[in-house]
Amino acid sequence: MSLNILITGGCGFLGARLARTLLAGGPLALDGAAPQAIAQITLADRVPPPADLQADARVRFVGGDLNELIDNAQLPGADIDLVFHLAAAVSGDCEADLDLGLRSNIDATRALLQALRRSGQTPVFVFSSSVAVFGNSPEQPLPATIEDTTLPTPQNSYGIQKFIGEQLVADFTRKGFVRGRNVRLMTVSVRPGRPNGAASSFLSGMLREPLAGQRAVCPVPPDTAVALASPANTVAGLIRAATASPTQWGARTAVNLPALTTTVREMAQALERIAGTAATDLIDWQPDAGIAAIVTNWPSRIHAARAEGLGLSADASFDAILRDYVRDNPQAVTLPVNLPMKA
């Protein structure tokens, strides 16, 4: 027996990293069962995969708009055992264009679930939700620390759309059409590559761009607290959601992944420790009320008890996250850096 896996949004930064990790990891113990080899990973996206994934015989690429691919029966494909549904429009874009968010984050999720329902395969379905399902408002202020049982109160379109996606996955799971695993991702930092339309994009850009010798803007006050996770920890959480047995996973409600709580000031200080003032002098502290209104309404302290029960833990420090980014992306770093030897 072997596994067929579908990753939507599979050619983006996180999807590509997930695919690489799966391909390098050997047999996968899906849903707590005996480990099986991976026969094929289908990457669905608008853009083609990186060259290393294109060269792997186990990788298949399906290109185009996700809704159209599903409508034309090009996806999900036959005999899919595991789906990682990462494809989404991001927070800032959803706030600017409601129809884009509705189509990308609700219509596509529903269409994919319906297609899997028709297939009769009952795959494990890992849905990448977001910490943005939590939001602060005068009527319903957030608690100091988010628990697994905290009521989601999203305050922007992206968070609302992600919470709707969670409920769709939970209901299709209740009906026995998929084996759903809703996973709430924290803000991922540091992301390589180019900025995107996420309100949180600056939490990578304020580090990535200065390390490349380019100016960057930080649109929130230095004391803004945020909940972050490294790319490696985020991928580990997604994979653990797929391998957990039903008993280990527990309720159909979403699992909050572990988060490192830090501040924007502390992130800049970590950058200075690694690349000096030549890097931090490239950060322009320019307030943007629109971005701040979104980001400062997200929680910064997460008690991820269910995730910890699955063996997951938060990153040790932001310095460690930043050092790993520099080591993993040497081609993107032009400033001199000071890195201790890795143990």
236/313 Cα distance (integer angstroms): 10
Give yes or no: 158 in active site: yes
Residue 17: partners with Cβ closer than 8 Å, 6 or more residues away: 231, 235
* DSSP assignment string, 95-161: HH-HHHHIIIIIIHHHHHHHHHHHHT---EEEEEEEGGG----SSSPPPSSB-TTPPP---SHHHHH
What is the pairing mode between strands 225-229 and 260-263? antiparallel
Triad 284, 207, 221: Cα angle to 5°: 45
Instruction: Identify the active-site residue in 84, 125, 127, 158.
Output: 158
Report the candidate in 118, 123, 99, 233 with the shortest Cα–Cα distance to residue 181. Answer: 123
What is the Cα–Cα distance from 80 to 40, expressed in whole angstroms? 10
Cβ within 8 Å of residue 172, ≥6 positions away: 113, 116, 117, 125, 178, 180
Q: Name the residues annotated as catalytic.
A: 158
